[in-house]
A and B are shown apart, each in its own frame.
Chain A
Amino acid sequence: MTVLPLPTRRQEDWRYSDVEAVAGVWPLPDPVAIHVGAGEQAAHRLLQDAADGAVAIHDYAIHVEAGGRCTFHLLNIGGKLGRVTFRVTLGKGAHFGLYGAMIGGGEQTLEIVTSVTHAEPDGTSEQIVRSILGQKAVGTYLGRIEVARDAQKTDAVQSIKAMLLDRTATANAKPELEIYADDVKCAHGCAVGELDRQALFYMASRGMEPQAARSLLLQAFVAGVFDDIGDEAERERFDTAALAKLEALAGQGSGA
């Protein structure tokens, strides 16, 4: 059996990764295969909250056949390296939706890497990712959308937003489009910014403690990502984990 050499940062998909951390878990197992048949619907999710110092890498290979729909909710908050990758192929009229949040602190490296191929006409995809990074955390979104030749009427959107809490944190993003068909709608928006100062002031003027105001705005920033989780208990679990992570960040004095 041939083992692939360890990744290096020269490889695009590992460009901002913690490649030293990967050595301990190399070689990686095969990706988890998710197959959504024609016209079927599938809802998947992952709450990645590995222990401190752990290396958590989750790879998914998703194939959605004609008219199928696959949604994936992801909360990526655990481990020294928390890396979740998606290689998605969409058939005719198929849909893929990724709704993800990354919240990192300490020296965490958190990554979401996607490659969505619209192989046939009429497919749609939507990716929404929100990241909050404090202390020395590095958060990366690498998202590639490919629209194959003749995959007309593809509609693909990426909305990527990141918020840094400390001067020592890093947000990287590469929303990439590779388009070989002309009658398509592909758009991406990407924004990195800090908390809205006006909103903070407005909240303070109503008597809110600065810390409370901040935490409220941060919650608002990731809120909505998990709204579509159908199972209420599961949605609760994701929301609670996100909130706990945010509180832990605040508790460590991030962004003070």
Chain B
Amino acid sequence: MSEEVEIRDAEARAAAARAADYEHGWSADIEQEFAPKGLSEDTVRFISAKKEEPEWMLEWRLKAYRHWLTMETPDWAKLDIPPIDYQDAYYYAAPKQKDALKSLDEVDPEILRVYEKLGIPIEEQKVLAGVEGARKVAVDAVFDSVSVATTFRRELEEAGVIFRSISEAIREYPELVKKWLGRVVPMHDNYFAALNCAVFSDGTFVYVPEGVRCPMELSTYFRINAENTGQFERTLIVADKGAYVSYLEGCTAPMRDENQLHAAVVELVALDDAEIKYSTVQNWYPGDAEGRGGIYNFVTKRALCQGRNSKVSWTQVETGSAITWKYPSCVLNGENSVGEFYSVAVTNNYQQADTGTKMIHNGKGSRSTIVSKGISAGHSNNTYRGLVRVAPQAEGVRNFTQCDSLLLGDRCGAHTVPYIEVRNPSATIEHEATTSKISDDQLFYAMQRGLDQESAVALIVNGFAKEVLQQLPMEFAVEAQKLLGISLEGSVG
């Protein structure tokens, strides 16, 4: 644990102790910045109160919490997860709690080196690293003194797009939130989703009204305004009839967080003719070369393609976290609805990833495409786990799945676990999987043309992952390419 984290931990403990001492009990006291350590109904009430939530929301959280108590941690993934003591953690700390650094000099040089490699402008580096006062500067520097946040927000409002933190949305658009929250991922869906329902601290809400094409990629906005939304993030995106929105989550820059457990829930809803493109670049701290530390990223992401001709496309580039447990899925209820999943998952050192998707075909003529590229190096284990299910009433379903694994070195593992369940004779389901390594010939050929070994590996790996990378919005595709190379440094030779 770094010094900085230790200091923060000590502060958190002190604040919790103060809260616990308060004579009226802390649950009524929403001035406190920290919920006390541990998880109980009182923790849930504290969070809800802190967020000034309406009663229904509190009830919803409590219901989820009570259900969570009856559940068991999933154990079916090919992951070795150390036991997690849920009482030995803090579930709420007000945002902005992070100690501001005075300058980039205080940032871990290793992180700076990676920023450098990614080509992130210096002012943006400051934002990412949490340097004091950097946000304003960054916005000014990057966008020529126009307040980009304001501009963006005005532009979105003119289009009728609602783009809020989920806490704001619960207060400002309770009916809309109530209608869809938990509709795609029910609170009892799984252990981590239930936990998230009970204690989620913040997240994002997007509503794109009928016929509206969101005027910008929400990534652009998000990029600059990304706050550390904490360990239990909640995202809900609703695209009404004929609407379109592209959303990018995460960041190529390595993100450090002292919270080890991350359990986010993302729900997407696409109505008739609507389309949502959801891209993720996940680069949470993966732990050190010996496998110490690192984030546990246990995420539930699911899309409901409810309307006819609706479409949801998930693209993910997963390079971070010590353990990843994540299956962005599509429930294809709408006739002729379309689900897509494009994934690159890289594991190195002692990382573990168990990730994939579920395509649940309930609608007639629904189609899905799955392209998964797993890259394992070091002592890591990388698993694709997927489900393609065709319901009896779903005529004319098509699915195509391609799962490719690339192994770098002979100490890692690459696994493919596809489930195929078909109950309609008219379905056409195709699944293909391959395993390969970077051949010595390829490496030598590239080096003979002048590339050093690391560049050659990065180039070949990017070629392997190309089908997925080209799905990303342009600006991120370039960074993601560099990221793949950086994640695999030292893995060959």
Contacts and interface: CB of A to CB of B under 8 A. Distances in A.
Interface residues of A, number: 39
A214 B434 CA distance: 33
Interface in A155-204: 162-194
Contact of A184 (B417, B427, B435): B435
B432 A178 contact: no
B435 A187 contact: yes
A255 interface: yes
A172 B430 CA distance: 13
Interface stretch (B344-352, B363-371, B403-411): B403-411
Given A176-B416, A179-B415, A187 B422 contact: no
B339 interface: no
Contacts of A162: 422
Given A167-B392, A255-B425, A186 B435 contact: yes
B431 A179 contact: no
A182 B420 contact: no
B415 A190 contact: no
Contacts of B409: 182
B433 A178 contact: no
Interface in B222-248: none
A150 B407 CA distance: 13
B432 A188 contact: yes
Contact of B434 (A12, A166, A182, A187): A187
B220 interface: no
Given A178-B415, A190-B429, A193-B428, A169 B410 contact: no
B424 interface: yes
A96 to B, nearest CB: 18
- The range of chain B's interface size is 35 or more
B414 interface: yes
A189 B392 contact: no
Contacts of A149: 410-411
Nearest to A178: B415
B86 interface: no
Given A183-B437, A187-B434, A169 B429 contact: no
B437 A193 contact: no
A166 B76 CA distance: 32
A215 B437 CA distance: 43
Given A179-B407, A182-B437, A172 B421 contact: yes
A192 B432 contact: no
Nearest to A164: B425
A146 to B, nearest CB: 9
Contacts of B434: 186-187
B425 A166 contact: yes
Interface of A: 12, 16, 149-150, 152, 162-194, 255
23 contacts: A16-B421, A149-B410, A164-B424, A166-B425, A168-B423, A169-B423, A170-B422, A171-B420, A171-B421, A172-B419, A175-B416, A175-B418, A178-B413, A179-B405, A181-B410, A182-B407, A184-B435, A189-B433, A190-B430, A191-B429, A192-B420, A194-B426, A255-B425
Given A172-B419, A193-B428, A194-B428, 14 more contacts: A149-B410, A150-B410, A166-B425, A167-B392, A171-B420, A172-B422, A176-B415, A179-B415, A182-B437, A183-B410, A187-B432, A188-B432, A190-B432, A192-B420
Interface of B: 76, 78, 392-393, 405, 407-435, 437
